[in-house]
Amino acid sequence: AIHVELNDSLTVEAILDQGSEIVAMSKQLWARLGLGLNPNKQLNMQSANAEANLTKGLVEGLKFTINGVDLFIHTHIVENGPFDVLIGRPFFRYTQCETRDEIDGMQEITITCPRTSRQVTIPTFKKGETTPPSDGNVKVFRVAGQSSRM
């Protein structure tokens, strides 16, 4: 997972999933952000357990900010997703995302802004294991019951 700021208003945990063919957001988060969506752009989404559900629609060009890089990504709204945001293949293609896995299990990604060519490398974390950045300068991470600051 990584942290993303949505629409300049809220930072949330986003799950990276290269097996997903869409970028998706939970209906609850969509309602909290008060975003409009295009209900004519629904699609049938099949989950890993082979259950199929129709999405509510599409938020077109939703602003994602990741470590100062602004990206505008079409995001499908799902009724009962077990996530706030699911980042699938469209994100990986759009940002030319590169993943680096370390022998100790650490992982980082490098994304490239398609508009400015600016690159940023950020660490990933396991779902639910860190808190969002507390401000622009201090980041608090939980590691095995401890907190450490960067």
Would the pTM count as exceeding 0.85? Answer: no
**Which tens digit of pLDDT belongs to each residue from 120-147?**
999 999 888 876 554 444 333 333 333 3
Residue 26 β-bridge partners: 78
| pLDDT at site 2 | 96
Ramachandran class of 49: left when φ > 0, alpha when ψ lies in -120 to 50, beta otherwise: alpha
The owner of tokens 């660490």 is 123
